[in-house]
Structure 1
Amino acid sequence: MNRFFDLDDDRRSLDRWHLRSPVDEHGQKIDPWQFDEGRRIEPWGTTRFPVRPDGRELDFTMAAFSIPVVHGRVVQLFERLGIQEVQFLPVQVDGHEGPWFILNPLRIIRCIDDARCREVHYWKPEDGQPEKVGQYRVVSGMRIDPAKVGDARIFRPWGWTVALIISEDLKEALEREGLTGTNFTEA
């Protein structure tokens, strides 16, 4: 059976950069949640990411709100591998030459295996947010059911879209490429 990994930002380096929330060319905040909906986004004007604190660039970074920002090297790798389950939106990163892109995954798959996760909690009526009742509130030590994933190579899990899941072959390709900033946890 295929193995899958939660692709996250490697936060261990103290000299690395930190990308903040995206803003438009006028400095107005852009809705960060649109990048975890699993849908194609029509490009708009210039999107940029402020950097605080500044530091060493990473080829893969989770900006604020779990927005994956990648260097053009990642885009080239995905193109070579024929991965079309994502959209790359060009962005600017303050003080850093690009090219930089938001990696927008286009698939959301209902695949979290509650029984194998370390901890799972759902929103309840007594939590005071009726619009969220029945949705995941906490997923810790997330595990997915690979049988529900099919042939997907990159996606977000339904109900916990802050996670970005990739297939084992994509993980290995990212590692071979020597891209910086990646951290993998088996899901």
Structure 2
Amino acid sequence: MRIPDRWVLNSPIDEHGREVDPWQFNEGRRLDLDARLRLRVALPGRELDFSLTGLGIVVVHERVARVLERMGVRDVQLIPVEVEGCSSAYFILSVLSTIRCIDDARCEEVQHWKPEDGQPEKVGEYRVVAGMRIDPTRVGDAHLFRPWGWSVALIVSDELKRALEHEGITGTRFIEV
């Protein structure tokens, strides 16, 4: 979102113009969608290879999909999506792998949901994670995953980071965790 003059994409809609549940794409489960999905451009600008919608849905250009395929990245689902006014192929990237790897002691700040917070379905999950650090021994050979309890983050291996940078993929920003 910090790239100047970048486009901004809305949440997906189906072929009838009805909004599709945006949260399902970040739940870490394989989706069986019958609808052809479309994304409207909320704010025109420079097209990016890697984008997030306003609600955090990951949208990638076919160049990113090719890098993932070439590297043998497992546990992802690439869902074809038509982007308004674009002839290029784009996909919603649904990351299926979740790893319990956040190293609470090394993070700047960590808060967990508690019963008194009034959201029983979230109790035990992270409410705040600032200055995230992970325990790399828990990650194994995963190249792309979300940390358990903090689905707003997307973690890539150093090898995948280098491959994306080598391809000149636009729209990414990497922070070492």
TM-score, normalization by structure 1: 0.89
Of stretches 32-41 and 140-149 in structure 1, the one that deviates more from structure 2 is 32-41
Q: Does 1:49 align with 2:47?
A: no
1:153 aligns with 2:154: no
Farther-moved stretch of structure 1 (152-161 vs 42-51): 42-51
User: 2:99 matched to which residue of 1?
Assistant: 109
Answer with 163-172 or 95-104: which moved more. Answer: 95-104
Identity of aligned residues (%): 60
Greater Cα shift, 129-138 or 110-119: 129-138
Paired AA for residue 109 in structure 1: I
Normalized per residue, the structure richer in strand is 1
Give the CA deviation at 1:55: 0.7
What are structure 2's unaligned runs of at least 5 residues?
Answer: none
Higher relative contact order (CA 8 A, sep 6+): 1
Residue 100 in structure 1 maps to residue 82 in structure 2:
no
Is 2:127 the counterpart of 1:137? yes
The 1-side partners of 2:75 and 2:123 are apart by: 30
Runs of 4 or more, structure 1, over 4 Å off, are none
Q: TM-score, normalised by structure 2?
A: 0.94
- 8 Å CA contact retained: 1:21, 1:29: yes
- Superposition pairs of residues 163-174 of structure 1, within 5 angstroms: 163-174=153-164
Q: What count of residue pairs does the alignment treat as equivalent?
A: 177
The residue that corresponds to 2:53 in the other structure is 63
| Deviation, structure 1 residue 140 | 1.4
Alignment partner of 1:184: what SS? coil
1:100 shift after superposition: 0.4
Residue 131 of structure 1 and its aligned partner are, at CA, apart by: 2.6
Q: Deviation per CA, 1:55-94, whole angstroms, max 9, x where unpaired?
A: 1100000113221100011111122222222111100111
Cα distance in 1, alignment partners of residues 108 and 17 from structure 2: 40
